[in-house]
């Protein structure tokens, strides 16, 4: 069971989740993806799980709450009057899925401490209750080191294990900061660089997506990504 969190919103969590799911499913594993709370999407609109299905294929998906406003789950719940989402419900759903699947992925909303309810429950509480490993999805460029270090420090202080960090959207023409961060992100996270996924990957068809996911993710996920080789190539281009 893996908890996929980000250093913020829009860093590539859904694409990363879909990429991990695609590789696992391609190896014949039974995969489930749980999105506890989807915000900023109407009742009949496609959410993040629709993207996962489009990219990763027929994996099991489950969404527990949907709020129309693009806010934190707690704030969106308060504004809409819809029920909040206690971590116990998330953990129960994850455990249920995990009992019938080989791999269960839990994709958070925003960062690790984004609130689910008025008591301040967050994805960190869910990960702790499940004993799940945490994957941190980070941006490539300037500012990512601080956000990654903060996320990893909070995770560690809460008794969580950060398995690694993945860059969710690597630019076609990376700047100096992005290239430098390839070496510094694992230090900030206190965990290895487990992948670098190219920007625009969400526009790929299923076959191309699977191939690029394999190239961009570590053998830990069933991929072929070699951080030393990637850093060397990126550095040579600057």
Q: Which of 13, 35, 212, 238 is catalytic?
A: 35
The CA distances from residue 196 to 178, 221, 224, in Å, are: 11, 13, 11
Identify whether the C-beta of residue 33 lies closer than 8 Å to the C-beta of residue 43. no
DSSP structure class, residue 217: B
Largest CA distance in the chain: 54
The CA distances from residue 86 to 98, 121, 122, 157, in Å, are: 19, 7, 9, 22
- Side-chain-side CA neighbours of 78 within 13 Å: the count stands at 10
- Establish whether 157 is a catalytic residue: no
Which positions are annotated as active-site residues?
Answer: 35
């Amino acid at each position: 069971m893996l908890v996929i969190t980000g250093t913020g919103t829009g860093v590539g969590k859904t694409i990363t989740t879909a990429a991990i799911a695609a590789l696992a499913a391609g190896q014949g594993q039974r995969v489930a993806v749980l999105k506890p709370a989807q915000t900023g999407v109407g009742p009949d609109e496609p959410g993040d799980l629709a993207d996962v299905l489009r990219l990763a294929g027929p994996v099991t998906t489950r969404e527990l709450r949907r709020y129309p406003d693009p806010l934190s789950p707690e704030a969106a719940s308060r504004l809409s009057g819809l029920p909040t989402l206690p971590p116990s419900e998330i953990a129960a759903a994850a455990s249920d899925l995990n009992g019938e699947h080989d791999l269960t992925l839990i994709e958070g909303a925003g960062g690790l401490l984004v609130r689910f309810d008025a008591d301040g429950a967050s994805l960190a509480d869910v990960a702790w209750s499940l004993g799940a490993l945490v994957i941190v999805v980070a941006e490539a460029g300037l500012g990512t080191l601080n956000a990654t270090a903060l996320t990893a420090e909070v995770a560690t202080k809460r008794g969580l294990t950060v398995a690694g960090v993945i860059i969710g959207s690597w630019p076609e023409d990376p700047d100096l900061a992005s290239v430098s961060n390839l070496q510094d992100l694992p230090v900030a996270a206190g965990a290895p660089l487990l992948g670098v996924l190219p920007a625009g990957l969400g526009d790929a068809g299923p076959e191309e997506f699977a191939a690029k996911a394999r190239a961009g993710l570590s053998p830990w996920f069933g991929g072929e990504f070699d951080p030393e080789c990637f850093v060397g190539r990126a550095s040579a281009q600057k």
